[in-house]
Amino acid sequence: MFETFARILMQEEAEIFLRFEIAVVILLSIAALVAILARRLRHMPYTVALVLAGLALTFFSPDLLSLGENTGEIILLILVPPLVFEATLHIKWQALRRDLGPILLLATAGSLLGAVIVAGLITWTLGVPLVAAFTFGSLIAATDPVAVISFFRSLGVSRRLALLVEGESLFNDGVAIVLFTVALGTAEAVHLGVADAFRLDAAVVDFVRVAFGGLFVGVALGYLVSYVILKNVDDHLVETGTTVALAFGAFVVAEQFHLSGILAVVAAGIFVGNVGSQNTSPTTKLTLDNFWEFLAFTANSIVFLLIGLQTEIDDLIAGIDRIVVAIAAVLLSRAVVVYGLTALHGRLQPGREVPRPFRHVMFWGGLRGAISLALAFKLTEQPDIFGPRLTADILVLTFGVVLFTLLAQATTLTPLLSRLGLTQQPARYETMQRQQALLLARQAGKSELDRLYEQGLLADEVWRAMSSVAAADINDTSRQLLHHLHTYSELKQEMVLEARAEMLKAERTAVGEAARRGVVSDEIAEELFREIDNRAAALALLRERFGGGA
Amino acid sequence: MHEVVCATRGGQGSRAVRQLALEHAGKTGRSVLFFFALDTTIVQESEETLHVAVRDELEWQGRVLLEIARRQAEEAGVGAKIVIREGRFRDELIDLLKETEASVCLLGAPRGTTATIFGDDAIERLAAEVQRATGVPVEIARPEDLAGEE
């Protein structure tokens, strides 16, 4: 009897896994197709294209990936940690430290202020109870930079602007979750009739404990992995595997102690990206980069397809008036937060002000995504707190705002960047790059031609003729490049800066190699690494000053 | 011999100012002194831990840019020397002009307003200021004046 029951259970589980596996295979196939299409549509971010694909699929196959009440948990526990970790791996501490002031101000005070403004407006206009409105304000405070950052990279937008947007988003994810937890706790207390137990001072202390505790867990585990594993193990597969364990482990350990899992992942990622990866070989670095790029692509694809797939179009249409109000509230709060706090920061740290055009991009580029939806889904796991109707309302408002930011804001960001003059790759710079690439390609072609001739695969006469034509092409391209550089003399400066950056990278690799072979001690290598890193940071600063690409 | 002092930083006006310097030198038979200021205001604005690195990188960049200029002069058959000074651009240029008894000083103007040291009419004001302080005529070269420029 027991064996039969166990067999049935196992069969059911196997079916669930099989269904899940099929769904993942279908999703990844769709993601690949969408990625190919998105490449052709230059102004359409890949993530937005995924959402649209997901929305389209709901018409054909509404239950393609029905995760039911676990959607929030799946996004938060499985998809968000690798996304956050990958994003933090590339953040350089030197650069982050320079703009830590505005980033932390926006992530902490900004998230709180934004949540309060949204809550106030939603309560005032829609009559939503204040605690429920604050819960919505908290979950919608988390900005998602994925769609924006991909644009920044392709358009050559200032690294400082990218860092400000990405940095704020990474930290405010953690802050928004903590605010959401506090709001939900308060709502639960109200629901249970013990609201008197809520104390603001205790909530603030709790907020600090959860946030800093999460950061501490991330730094501690990041330190452990960086100095114990990455420094002493010379196996790129083991090292890469360890970073996966770290990304998920930091999240789980922090959450186990009721600390911020997201902030733990942020801290761990920054630590490994700045310290751990310096202790590894070039092979490991390459493997790490490729692996995490792939994992982030996969997680992103699933998240944004899920957003589309989980959207209930009928509910959105039914609640359109309330959604419009929520969008207005979110935009207004974002404007107050970005313009107000960056102005305040400008007064506190003169000389490091956030430039005005950056502020416009930070305002309009404040998209909402996976975290907001995951938190809204979490509400549906406890429908009793606000009641099923209000819970469903919050979910609809969240979907409405997320979709608006992705479909309206993300798609209009390129024209905004151009209008503000922030796309720093003018035609003359692109021409230089094209000519450089063409020169490299033609030289490679000529080398291959010579190799074929040396191997006796080409007749002497044929080789001479082809070689002569190829050499003329190379000379022609080289002349065009020189003429272009002659015309736009500032491009030479850009060329110097770029080549210098490559030289510093090569110097760093050489020092790392020397240390690995035992030619120099670890201490001396560390010292040289620091020196080279400082020079690279200085170079980045100069490129920013003298306009990279301009 | 009175020299033509040519201040360059590798920006948009650098080709124009170098060309003007070579033309001056060619006409008068004088040599050119290419000048690069290692601007300490940029160093001071960077965070303290980066001061040394920013200074070193600026110097490296200056050496490369001046070497480009020197070679260009060499190809044109004009005698050229290079000098890198550390300090505020304006102050160092004035000191240099006083020390070298220069016959003319040439400054390059950026194409737009993107330059960080000069901007808008700042170049004209700087030129007037330097001329007043040293008595050396200061000329401004613009990229738009060159054939082939946009």
Reported as a single tens digit per residue, the pLDDT across B65-80 is 888 888 889 988 998 9
pLDDT, tens digit, 9 for 90 and up, residues A406-448: 889 888 888 888 888 777 666 677 788 888 888 888 898 898 8
Task: Quickly tell me which residue has 């197709």 as its tokens.
Answer: A33
> Is A542's Cβ below 8 Å from some Cβ in B?
yes
Asked if A98's CB is within 8 angstroms of B47's CB, the reply is yes
Asked if B53's CB is within 8 angstroms of A489's CB, the reply is no
Name the residue with higher pLDDT: B121 or B14: B14
Mean pLDDT of the A152-179 span: 83
Furthest-apart CA atoms within chain A: distance in Å: 95
Task: Sort out which chain A residues have CB atoms less than 8 A from B76's CB and list them.
Answer: none
Q: In terms of CA atoms, which chain A residue is nearest residue B63?
A: A496
User: What is the reported pLDDT for A233?
Assistant: 77
DSSP string, A476-515: HHHHHHHHHHHHSTHHHHHHHHHHHHHHHHHHHHHHHHHH
Tell me which residue in B12, B54, B61 faces A490 most closely, judged by beta carbons: B12
Amino acid present at A93: W
Mean pLDDT of the A523-541 span: 83
Mean pLDDT of the A131-151 span: 83
Count of helices and strands (H, E) across chain B:
5, 5
Mean pLDDT of the A9-37 span: 77
Mean pLDDT of the A344-368 span: 86
> Is A489's Cβ below 8 Å from some Cβ in B?
yes
Distance from the Cα of A269 to chain B's closest Cα (Å) equals 23
Q: Nearest to residue A445, comparing CAs of A478, A467, A477, A475? A: A467
Range among A50-64, A323-337, A375-389 with highest mean pLDDT value: A323-337
Joined tokens for residue A325:
């109000």
Q: Nearest to residue A218, comparing CAs of A169, A292, A277, A269? A: A269
Per DSSP, A457 falls in state: -
Q: Which residues of A378-400 are buried (b: 16+ CB within 10 A; e: fewer)?
A: bbbeeeebbeeebbbbbbbbbbb
User: What is the reported pLDDT for A219?
Assistant: 94
Q: Nearest to residue A249, comparing CAs of A275, A222, A276? A: A222
Asked if B68's CB is within 8 angstroms of A492's CB, the reply is yes
pLDDT, tens digit, 9 for 90 and up, residues B3-57: 899 988 777 778 888 888 999 888 888 899 999 988 877 777 666 777 888 888 8
Asked if B143's CB is within 8 angstroms of A489's CB, the reply is yes
How would you class A16 by CB atoms within 10 Å of its CB: exposed for 0-12, middle for 13-18, buried for 19 or more? Answer: exposed
Task: Quickly tell me which residue has 């009419």 as its tokens.
Answer: B121
Asked if A547's CB is within 8 angstroms of B114's CB, the reply is yes
Question: Is the pLDDT confidence value at A118 over 80?
Answer: yes
Coil, strand or helix at A97: helix
User: What is the reported pLDDT for A550?
Assistant: 28
User: What is the reported pLDDT for A195?
Assistant: 61
| Mean pLDDT (chain A, rounded) | 83
Q: What is the Cα–Cα distance from A416 to A151, expressed in whole angstroms?
A: 12
Distance from the Cα of A314 to chain B's closest Cα (Å) equals 51
> Is A350's Cβ below 8 Å from some Cβ in B?
no
DSSP string, B46-91: S-GGGHHHHHHHHHHHHHHHHHHHHHHHHHTT--EEEEEEEE-HHH
Joined tokens for residue A260:
């911020």
User: What is the reported pLDDT for A251?
Assistant: 94
Distance from the Cα of A432 to chain B's closest Cα (Å) equals 15
Asked if A496's CB is within 8 angstroms of B114's CB, the reply is no
User: What is the reported pLDDT for A542?
Assistant: 80
Q: pLDDT confidence of A213, banded at 50, 70, 90? A: very high
Question: Is the pLDDT confidence value at A162 over 90?
Answer: no
CA–CA–CA angle A496, B75, B59 (5° rounding): 30
Question: Is the pLDDT confidence value at B117 over 60?
Answer: no
Q: What is the Cα–Cα distance from A121 to A140, expressed in whole angstroms?
A: 13
User: What is the reported pLDDT for B105?
Assistant: 93
Question: Is the pLDDT confidence value at A208 over 60?
Answer: yes
Q: What is the Cα–Cα distance from B142 to B98, expressed in whole angstroms?
A: 25
Q: In terms of CA atoms, which chain B residue is nearest residue A486?
A: B15
Task: Sort out which chain B residues have CB atoms less than 8 A from A537's CB and list them.
Answer: 50, 53
Element (H, E) at A461: helix A460-487
Q: What is the Cα–Cα distance from A281 to A74, expressed in whole angstroms?
A: 34
Mean pLDDT of the A306-327 span: 86
Q: Nearest to residue A371, comparing CAs of A180, A107, A108? A: A180
Distance from the Cα of B83 to chain A's closest Cα (Å) equals 18
Q: pLDDT confidence of A537, banded at 50, 70, 90? A: confident
Question: Is the pLDDT confidence value at A120 over 70?
Answer: yes
Residue A236 CB neighbour total at 10 angstroms:
18
Q: Nearest to residue A151, comparing CAs of A166, A173, A170? A: A166
Lowest mean pLDDT among A13-17, A289-293, A370-374, A530-534: A13-17
Q: In terms of CA atoms, which chain A residue is nearest residue B109?
A: A490
Asked if B50's CB is within 8 angstroms of A496's CB, the reply is no
Coil, strand or helix at A333: helix
User: What is the reported pLDDT for A323?
Assistant: 94
Distance from the Cα of A281 to chain B's closest Cα (Å) equals 25
Name the residue with higher pLDDT: A121 or A60: A121
Using left for φ > 0, alpha for ψ between -120 and 50, and beta otherwise, residue A520 falls in beta
Beta partners for residue B61, in sequence order: none
Q: Which residues of A315-334 are buried (b: 16+ CB within 10 A; e: fewer)?
A: beeebeebbebbbebbbebb
Task: Sort out which chain B residues have CB atoms less than 8 A from A541's CB and list them.
Answer: 42, 46, 50, 54
Interface test with B, best of A489, A493, A530, A539 (most B CBs within 10 A): A489
User: What is the reported pLDDT for A76?
Assistant: 82
Name the residue with higher pLDDT: A333 or A5: A333
Lowest mean pLDDT among A32-36, A161-165, B71-75: A32-36
Distance from the Cα of B76 to chain A's closest Cα (Å) equals 15
Question: Is the pLDDT confidence value at B63 over 50?
Answer: yes
Task: Sort out which chain A residues have CB atoms less than 8 A from B65's CB and list them.
Answer: 492-493, 496
Distance from the Cα of B50 to chain A's closest Cα (Å) equals 6
Q: pLDDT confidence of B119, banded at 50, 70, 90? A: very low
Asked if A493's CB is within 8 angstroms of B11's CB, the reply is yes
Q: pLDDT confidence of A229, banded at 50, 70, 90? A: confident
User: By the 8 A CB rule, do A293 and A114 touch?
Assistant: no
